[in-house]
A and B are shown apart, each in its own frame.
Chain A
């Protein structure tokens, strides 16, 4: 199971999350997004970049509430809602956006 990026194979698990986090690149994100039927816009990148920054500091994805708060600050109050996050990432900001951002899938009762 792998994604093809510029001629290289990047391995992923059964659910499409990359197995080696260091394999991530912007080009790969586009490839994953395409497989997820998500068209990456600036807003999508804003979220993905925030997730990656947060992950770098905390080694885990942020709570949805934390993400929304950050989005509210950078993109404005009308976009700081769960609903808008689901418009961007129909399968959920936590799971789908993490997949595109090359982060591990959050697990648990979520």
Chain B
């Protein structure tokens, strides 16, 4: 009997003096023993994968690798093109946080590349020792499991690779291959199973979801005196809001959900949530499974059709937005039944920024004066998507909204934000307690960048637009000298500052969101 002792993750916190991107001393094998809990047979089978390691697993894995290389030309190019220039070596937050050289992106890629070479290149077939080609053994498979679950698929390394090699794609392919031979990860696969069975990652059923939303309506009315609705399954609404189910459950996510509701209310649009498609966060992407990603996405299409909506808006979620912005049309399109005057789909921040520009929202910025803020760009939004109609909109729009609702805003070191943003340390299917040690270490570059702006500008809080980032930071921030509620939802700040029509602006509401 050994309940997890994950909260005791130790780490060398250097404080504000340590530069966030300082290269650590090498610590060979430092993370070699880390094994995320494996998926149980029932978790595997629910997703169409074998329950346990199949007998001819080598054959299956090698064939799958070949199939992926053939189907996905980018994957093959990534495996072939690396020239070992070294540009990526110090770009991974897990390498920076752990010092384990196998967390250098090139080394992580080579775990798979070496096997690919052995079976799919001329030199590797005949002279494996000359080209670093390896047989696929059980040890290699175990090493894949260990180190491909130490990649958050954040793609920071790919920004610095002169060939544009995307380690995330390789990591997704590796997980897909492992799933196909029966070796999946519990966290991701159990969650995808819940989406298929209940409609969201949490396993929140329609009755519980309805009760939660009603409770929030009461809270808003109590706080503002205004009745603001959070409708569920309302046919004929104009907008379907798809948001991560964490928005119905966790703090500070739920305060962001209240913010979306207030914005929709003030904009005077009709909207609804769906109990059938009550999840934005598509974990199919993390395990590289096109089929699972598609199945989760099709629920959104179905809900949009069933409810007869004209628009789809996504709430604050990083990888949901990558899937939505970059793949939704391919996965579940065409969306020709939606109103083509609006982006399909649209991000809640695009919506809110649009309303701010139109002048429909009134703010009292002083409501956020207790915060000195910075903003954490979430990796999948920063490097896997865009917002608005101009390049870099995904960086500008969230900052524009923040500056419209608060008086004290400061960016972190330029090398750690926007396209160079550092992962929170919990992305890509690693936000699980069994990887807490890795999560804390992986967050340390971001935390050091935060400590810098705290030292230089007195920054007290950080805002984010990704459910994973928010949960991860609320867990790891206390290890770096911050309170767990130093991480905020962007729409929580919008919610604090917005003055609803008819609301007495001078009236001092309890302002719960900022108080806790």
A residues with a Cβ closer than 8 A to B are 1-4, 12, 14-16, 32, 35-36, 58-60, 62-66, 68-69, 81-83, 86, 90-91, 94-95, 99, 104, 106-110
Q: Are B191 and A107 in contact (CB under 8 A)?
A: yes
Q: Are A63 and B254 in contact (CB under 8 A)?
A: yes
Interface: B201 (CB within 8 A): yes
Known contacts A108-B244, A109-B471; A58 and B205 CB within 8 A of each other: yes
Q: Are A15 and B3 in contact (CB under 8 A)?
A: yes
Q: Are A58 and B37 in contact (CB under 8 A)?
A: no
Contact with A95, one of B187, B216, B245, B433 (Cβ below 8 angstroms): B433
CB distance from B27 to the nearest CB of A (A): 26
Q: Are B467 and A82 in contact (CB under 8 A)?
A: no
Q: Are B516 and A60 in contact (CB under 8 A)?
A: no
**A-B pairs with lowest CB-CB distance, top 7:** A16-B3, A108-B201, A109-B467, A58-B208, A109-B246, A110-B250, A108-B202
- Tell me which residues across on chain A come within 8 A of B202, comparing CB atoms: 60, 106-108, 110
Contact with A64, one of B200, B216, B251, B467 (Cβ below 8 angstroms): B251
Q: Are B201 and A109 in contact (CB under 8 A)?
A: yes
Interface: B194 (CB within 8 A): yes
B residues with a Cβ closer than 8 A to A are 1-4, 7, 37, 186-187, 190-191, 194, 200-205, 207-208, 211-212, 215-216, 219, 244-246, 248-251, 253-254, 281, 317, 431, 433-434, 467-468, 470-471, 484-485, 516
Of B3, B204, B246, B484, the most chain A CB neighbours within 10 A belong to: B3
CA distance A87 to B187 in the complex (A): 27
- Tell me which residues across on chain B come within 8 A of A4, comparing CB atoms: 1
Q: Interface on chain B toward A: helix, strand, loop, or mixed SS?
A: helix
- Tell me which residues across on chain B come within 8 A of A32, comparing CB atoms: 3
Q: Are A36 and B205 in contact (CB under 8 A)?
A: no
CB distance from A63 to the nearest CB of B (A): 5
Q: Are B516 and A99 in contact (CB under 8 A)?
A: no
CA distance A66 to B251 in the complex (A): 11
- Tell me which residues across on chain B come within 8 A of A94, comparing CB atoms: 249-250
22 CB contacts below 8 A, A to B, read A12-B1, A15-B3, A15-B37, A15-B433, A58-B205, A58-B207, A60-B204, A63-B212, A63-B250, A64-B250, A64-B251, A66-B212, A66-B215, A82-B516, A104-B203, A108-B200, A108-B245, A108-B467, A109-B245, A109-B467, A109-B468, A110-B471
Look across to chain B and name the residue whose beta carbon is closest to the beta carbon of A3.
B1
Q: Given A15-B4, A107-B194, A109-B431, list of 7 further CB < 8 A pairs?
A: A12-B1, A60-B202, A63-B248, A63-B254, A109-B201, A109-B244, A109-B470
